[in-house]
Amino acid sequence: MSNADLIARDLKVVWHPCTQMKDTEAMPPVPIRRGEGVWLEDFDGNRYIDAVSSWWVNIFGHANPAINDRIKTQLDTLEHVMLAGFSHEPAVELAERLVDLTPAGLTRAFYADNGSAAVEVALKMSFHYWRNTGHGEKTRFINMGNSYHGETLGALAVGDVDLYKKTYEPLLLKPLTARSPDCYQREPGVSWEEHSRAVFADMEALLAEHAHETCAVIVEPLLQCAGHMRMYHPVYLELLREACDRYGVHLIADEIAVGFGRTGTLFACEQAGERGISPDFMCLSKGLTAGYLPLSITMTTDDIYAAFYDDYANLNAFLHSHSYTGNPLACAAALATLDEFERRDQIAVNRQLAQHMADAVAPLAEHPNVGEVRQTGMVLAIEMVADKASGTPFDWRERRGIRVYQHALSQGALLRPLGDVIYFMPPYVITPEQIEHLGKVAAQGIERAVST
């Protein structure tokens, strides 16, 4: 079978996610035959470095032997059992280990099977907590401008990326939106910390006015990934935690994309203040299984848990479920993932890799069509602009990011931009040489994309 064979079959029957299918006439999907480490290989034998971790999920490479083995063993033991009324060791052990690893106070793990579902769980639990504790008047959520929390209607509603959300607006609940602390928006000469601190005034004002009707504030800690990899200073999280306590509003930290080492610490919340902050809910998915299997967890506190713990007839239970909740194979993949973090001392290794990433693109910062090169830990983003001095973006209809994507594919790299933002978010098994290659490919791709 060749690339062409599989593409022909694909285009007859598959409807691809997040894709205008007419685009496939000029840009057919890349058919992948196998993966190994950072490499993906197509049916014609071309190889690509998976520089975006297959949409931010892969952290220890494709076909990682240790993770493979753990899943195979689990497969021969127990593939699945429902988690309502039943239990299994992988779900228990994973919950135990995450209680230890996540910020203090997060003592309960509620399982689901994808990131959007974990967000839905957090939103419903927060609302339901207030209802169970006599505050049925709390029905709203505060979110952040430019945020992203998934595609199901509840998760989409608390996001703020027009491209995905606008069409469905009539179907969605209406959050109160605070200005994003995105530091790309800061004035010249203003530091990340000063900017994020100043922008917090907007959140404070919303809380002051609406706390009485608000269940929770939901944020992506430090890094708004789908919102064009925009970044902010941890001081914002510190201020937010303090304000949520003061106003009696929950804090939901959506670490679906940033958790598991992406920002330089195991969880982004650890970077706020001197000892980190503890949210009331922490949503985890993506890197949780190192990109192997769909799984998500909403971590929460004793206080939240206790508000649901009651005689059945009082009807205060949280009756949410999904068919594949806590799937044992996925839990096994997650346990192997946590083992890999320990065995490789990965957070320390990432500090070196992050420095290599910075070095590989350093020359690009001076490029006349690069508005900013920014980095938080293992995520590095390059903002392409029409004019550097004014920061004027290119007309989005020109779709210049796609030219970088196509150039990168021809050079053996999968760099799938977000609009005109080119970014690296690679598996942690990438080598310094491979990072250097990505830097070169990105620079050449940007050169091509901005000319004419």
Ligand X SMILES: *Cc1c(COP(=O)(O)O)cnc(C)c1O
Total number of residues that touch ligand X (CB under 6 A)? 14
CB of 267 to ligand X, least distance (A): 13
How far apart are CB 224 and ligand X at their closest, in Å?
8
Give the interface segment with ligand X, choosing from 142-150, 242-250, 323-331, 435-443 (CB under 6 A): 142-150
Minimum CB–partner distance for residue 217 and ligand X (Å)? 15
Q: For the CB of residue 8, give the shortest distance to ligand X in the complex, in Å.
A: 28
Closer to ligand X at the Cβ: 150 or 326?
150
The reply to whether 446 sits near ligand X by the rule CB under 6 A is: no
- Write down the least CB distance from residue 207 to ligand X, Å: 22
> Which residue number, 226 or 429, has a Cβ lying nearer to ligand X?
226
What residue number has its CB nearest to ligand X?
115
Q: Pick one of 220, 270, 280, 383: the residue that binds ligand X (CB under 6 A).
A: 220
* Interface positions, 316-355, toward ligand X (CB under 6 A): none
**Spatial distance between the Cα atoms of 130 and 137, rounded to a whole number of angstroms:** 8
Closer by beta carbon to ligand X, 223 or else 435: 223
Footprint of ligand X on residues 114-133 (CB under 6 A)?
A: 114-116, 119
Site string for ligand X, 252-291 (x = CB under 6 A): --x-xx---------------------------x------
Taking the least distance from each CB to ligand X, the nearer of 61 and 154 is 154
Q: How far is the CB of 275 from ligand X (least distance, A)?
A: 24
Considering the complex, state which of residue 148 and residue 281 has its C-beta at the smaller distance from ligand X.
148
Positions in 145-174 near ligand X (CB under 6 A): 148-150
In the complex with ligand X, the residue whose CB is nearer, 39 or 110, is 110
225 touches ligand X (CB under 6 A): yes
Binding positions for ligand X, rule: CB under 6 A: 114-116, 119, 148-150, 220, 225-226, 254, 256-257, 285
